[in-house]
Amino acid sequence: MAEFIGTALLVFLGVSVVILMFGQGSPGSKLIPAEGLRLFLTGGLFGSVGALIAVSPIGRISGAHINPAVTLAFWLEGKLAWRDAALYILAQFAGSVVGAVPLLAWGHMGRSVAFGATQPGPDVPVWFAILGEAGVTFLLILAILTTAAHLRTRRFTPLVLPAIMSLLVWLEASISGASANPARSFGPALVAHVPLEPWIYIVGPSLGSVLYAGLVRIEAVRLPRATAARLFHFHMEAWRADNP
């Protein structure tokens, strides 16, 4: 239930930011004419929504994955049983649909950007968009799980989301939309009646998770490995780990 509610909130609030920044006649496009700056701010605000969910009571219950690709990475790392991972992912996709329905209230402004549905850029080949999604998902998971693996930084893991999403959206949005989250793409596409390209927005992020899981197992790389399947770690948990 926590993953369901958290993902619904992420889609509704996060995609509302997208509509406010890029919808036709939106205040964002008028106040910030530079598209690059709007992309950067949109990524940061979207990441901030995820960070707030992670530190909320909802996020503390489930670990605030709110992203099937993150859940897949934790499962590949052996931090979740396959049954729990499957239920997390089902809850995330269901939450994305529920969170996307209120986006219809944005009316013409929302419709002008397909209610925030992620789509590849014009003339971008499918294979290139898949690589784009795999790349941004890999970098997102690398940032999250590396921060979560260190005792001194794990409590600050949610703060990684605004920073990394600002950069990723700014750099990659023109290629695939910089979703890095199959659930984030699924709900808006459904309510906007826009075909969801599964190769791009499901296979792509999944490849990013698999790439991370493979890289972290290479001893020569020496990446730290997360100890728990959660984005937010309580201060007391870290203190106890330092003082057994």
User: What pLDDT tens digit does each residue of the chain (244 aa) get?
Assistant: 999 999 999 999 999 999 999 999 999 988 999 999 999 999 999 999 999 999 999 999 999 999 999 999 999 999 999 999 999 999 999 999 999 999 999 999 999 999 999 999 999 999 999 999 999 999 999 999 999 888 788 888 899 999 999 999 999 999 999 999 999 999 999 999 999 999 999 999 999 999 999 999 888 788 888 888 888 776 544 444 444 4
Q: Which residues of 11-33 are buried (b: 16+ CB within 10 A; e: fewer)?
A: bbbbbbbbbbbbbeebebbeebe
pLDDT at 1: 97
Looking from the CA of 232 toward its CB, the CA atoms found within 13 Å total 20
Where are the domains positioned within the chain? 2-242
CA 60, CA 72: separation in Å to the nearest integer? 19
Cα-Cα-Cα-Cα dihedral sign, residues 169, 139, 89, 152: negative
pLDDT at 241: 47
CA 202, CA 126: separation in Å to the nearest integer? 13
Cα→Cα distances 242→69, 82, 163, 225, Å: 30, 30, 27, 17
CA 114, CA 192: separation in Å to the nearest integer? 5
pTM value is 0.92
pLDDT at 242: 44
pLDDT at 235: 52
pLDDT at 234: 61
Question: What is the CATH superfamily name and number for domain 2-242?
Answer: Glycerol uptake facilitator protein. (1.20.1080.10)
